[in-house]
Amino acid sequence: MRRQASSPAKKYGAAKVARIDASRLRDKAQQNQRQWLSSLSDTAKFNEIGPRIFQPKGETELEAVLAVSIIGPIGIPQEQAVYPQVATADGKQMKRSTTK
């Protein structure tokens, strides 16, 4: 998809704006989210991405920005921004208890 530049000197032209398939975009975003959330228990992956996040503006790689936007909020101090995953010993998802 080609980026459309805009500036105050140019008039907005709806016909020139890229058409985005919202359903396809949502599906891909959810796929990326599931992939990243499932890889949080992978210590090697977490150690690989860790040093590449929270870099100066313009120097952070796309993969690092994606990881941070999924695993922690942007705009707060580094030590508060990443939520560690609570993983089970067998790697299976925890189930909610139904007993009271």
Residue range 54-97, pLDDT digits in tens: 788 788 888 888 887 777 665 666 666 566 666 677 777 766 66
Which residues are within 8 A (CB) of 16 and not within 5 positions of it... i.e. 6 or more apart?
A: 4
CA–CA separation, 97 vs 20, rounded Å?
A: 41
Check residues 5 and 88 and name the one with the higher pLDDT.
88
pLDDT, tens digit, 9 for 90 and up, residues 9-18: 677 777 888 8
Full-model pTM:
0.46
Instruction: Read off the DSSP letter of residue 100.
Output: -
